[in-house]
Amino acid sequence: MKCIHIHIDGQVQGVGFRPFVYRLAMELGLKGWVCNGVDGVHIEAEGEELQLQQFNKQLKENHPAIARITKLQAEERPLKYFTEFKIIESESSGKPNLLITPDIGLCDECREEIHDSKSHRYDYPFTTCTQCGPRYSIMRGLPYDRPTTSMDEFVMCPTCNQEYNNPLDRRYYSQTNSCPDCAIRVKTIASSGEIVAHDWSNTWPLLIQKLNEGKTIAMKGIGGYLLLADATNVRAIKTLRERKHRPTKPFALLYPNLEALKQDAYVSGVEAKEFLSIQSPIVLVNTREHPTSGICKELIAPGLARIGVMQPYTAMFELLMQKWNKPLIATSANISGSPIIYKDDEALQLLNTIADYFVMHNREIEIAQDDSVVQFSPAYKHRIVLRRSRGFAPTISKDAFSDETILAMGADMKSAFALQANGRIYVSQYLGDLESYESQESYRKTLFHLLDLVKAKPDRIVIDAHPNYYSSQLGKALADSWGIPIAKVQHHKAHAYAILTENNLLHTHEPILNVIWDGTGYGDDGNSWGGEFFEWSNGHLSRIGHLAYSPVWLGDRMAKYPKLAALFIARESTHLQNLIRDKFSPTQWNYYSKVIQTEPEVYTSSIGRLIDAVACLLSVCDYNSFEGQSAMYLEELGRTASTTARYPVSWKNTLLDVVDVLDHVVNDLEHSIPAGQIAFKFHAWQADVVYSIVNTKGYKKVLFSGGVFQNALLTDLIIGRFKRKELYFHRDLSPNDENISFGQLVCATQARTERNEIVEQELMNNPI
């Protein structure tokens, strides 16, 4: 007989791990206990040597599918002579040191159960078990137990209580357990404020009727409210676009199931797997020429061949979609430029001019989250995370770099913060663009919620070098109030540190090329960077090349108007200017002609602005009504054609000539080359740019980060061009600015732990 104590680290709370341990122990005849702790799951087990060995092996190999073990430590303890095996009360003292379980989509068993007329939970819209349901969005504290969530207010009925305490039931220790007898209550309110339905049985027939009438419904989901509308109704979609002031940005669609989706879209195996996954993100898929359901695809995703789709990931969505049985628009409920709304009173107050009806329930959402978005490249099926939120955040599979508690504030576009605390690293959900007061308040709330969850107070803070970022200003204010040091990390260097670390290449000795391409980032020289090449060698990040600088006037207007990007880049080419002159009114032309004769405010090496300029020349986009619109449209155009012709790559020492490629684009236009072929050639040119450096310098490893690498066509062209090289892209994080905070954290930690003078220099010799 032996007694062992096992400590299991990782994503092991809220995933049915303790019931799994209990059943396994009973099966093997072991005695002892299992409990949650602030640092994972703890087990004490007594039995014979072979039994304990088998127990250890099964824990590692057959744990619940949604669990993730990062460490399992076992040590022998004195015999206690236990008489049974049981789950004991969680240990809540100390600082939490565990992965936080994200929200989990509806599992297959619960999906079947709510459609089974013989089931106790038939038609119950809040059906969950240990394998599915909200987690992070309802947490008030750790460890994850019912009293530390917004389920604390709900008292389980005898049936639920029996399930909760029955080791053979799949709801054994299911913290979100409820049923019709102890129900989470639904009510439906009209925009006038009148309650029109008091429960789900009266709500769903009303919803079907109102959706058929073209009305917009605001329904409370896991991470906030979604706006629902009939995806086959032209008037309903136009009304929603007008009310949301969202003229062209694509809407996501909710489909009843995969079979219905396949009637409307071409769905590959990897896309189907992602669609059906427990994370249930929005997945981009190619629309069929004639969708069976009759969706208005030109109104849903104007100018694009792909639509964003997701499965019903809650019981309520599942019940509604099975009764509706065709696609619904399901877009974040917010005011344009503001975060998703998740509070009932705010929904009624702020959305009453957008939604006609509100479906509410009395389980509180503690922290808001948008739906995550994923796509796959068409040729090589490379997975690209476009937005990391519900289902993924805030967990990340990287061990802490030190014992220090560090808060990294991220950027202002596609914002997310990162926290290293108690031996863990967390990267927040996507928090949007920090332009509006509401977005800034949402950022603050999410930040303090996570700090409170893990009981952390930062030892220092890391910010972006941009002096006007809200995230940087907040970081300075917090460092001031807490009396802790602060450091800066340049934007594109943060991208480089993020991609290096995510691919475990930080300690590689051979030189590595980092290609960091995006729209903008404050550079070390005060200019706006965005088309950067860095070499990582012996712990040192060097800027070895970039796009030739172009002048910038009028601040952010250049990013909004692609024609300004074309004009500013082509300022010294009369020929190029004449080609785009008709895109301006006479008054505008006179004004901008004078502007470009003045001294520029700043210069930019941004490839994002070059992409805007090409989009302008090809007349695919004259105004970016949402960030990245011209790039999306140019990619779409490039997908329609292919050619073996190539634009030459022109370098002037370490500077990439951008006017040269524009001249080639114009030359093609004047020779009536189809716009699709030109767009394809421009994307191929970008892949050739990288190849030209690799071919000259002999790099064996190439890494890619920055918002430009959300482009699936470009990703495929790069993979095809470099078949014999080691290429590295982001895995769990998005290539866009959501990874900035993680890179900031890595850079700051490396500087402190390795005492690396170069890295300290990259931190710009702060604290400030």
Catalytic residues: 18, 36
Collect all residues with Cβ–Cβ distance below 8 Å to 485 and sequence separation of at least 6.
Answer: 460, 461, 479, 766, 767
Q: Crossing angle for the helix pair 658-670 and 607-617, nearest 10 degrees?
A: 10
Q: What angle do CA 425, 431, 434 make, to 5 degrees?
A: 120
> Could you identify the residue written with the tokens 């061949």?
305
What's the order of all strands across the beta sheet hosting 418-421?
395-399, 424-427, 418-421, 406-408, 460-464, 486-489
- Cα(310)–Cα(70) distance, rounded to whole angstroms? 29
What DSSP assignment string belongs to 163-174?
Answer: HHT-TTSTTTT-
* Pair of tokens at residue 297: 């695809």
Collect all residues with Cβ–Cβ distance below 8 Å to 604 and sequence separation of at least 6.
Answer: 520, 527, 528, 529, 530, 549, 550, 551, 552, 558
Sign of torsion over alpha carbons 130, 132, 133, 134: positive
Collect all residues with Cβ–Cβ distance below 8 Å to 641 and sequence separation of at least 6.
Answer: 674, 676, 677, 679, 680
Phi, psi of 650 (to 5 degrees): -115, 120
Q: Find out whether 470 and 440 touch, Cβ atoms under 8 Å.
A: yes
Three-class SS state of 227? strand
Q: Find out whether 372 and 390 touch, Cβ atoms under 8 Å.
A: yes
Parallel, antiparallel, or unpaired for β 195-197 and 217-220? Answer: unpaired
Collect all residues with Cβ–Cβ distance below 8 Å to 67 and sequence separation of at least 6.
Answer: 10, 11, 12, 15, 16, 17, 20
**CA distances for 594 relative to 567, 568, 591, 597, 599, angstroms:** 12, 12, 5, 5, 11
Q: Find out whether 406 and 745 touch, Cβ atoms under 8 Å.
A: yes
The alpha carbon of 726 is separated from its chain's Cα centroid by a whole number of angstroms, namely: 25
- Cα(541)–Cα(533) distance, rounded to whole angstroms? 10
Phi-psi region of 337 (alpha: psi -120 to 50; beta: other; left: phi over 0): left
Please state the length of the chain: 768
* Pair of tokens at residue 148: 């530390």
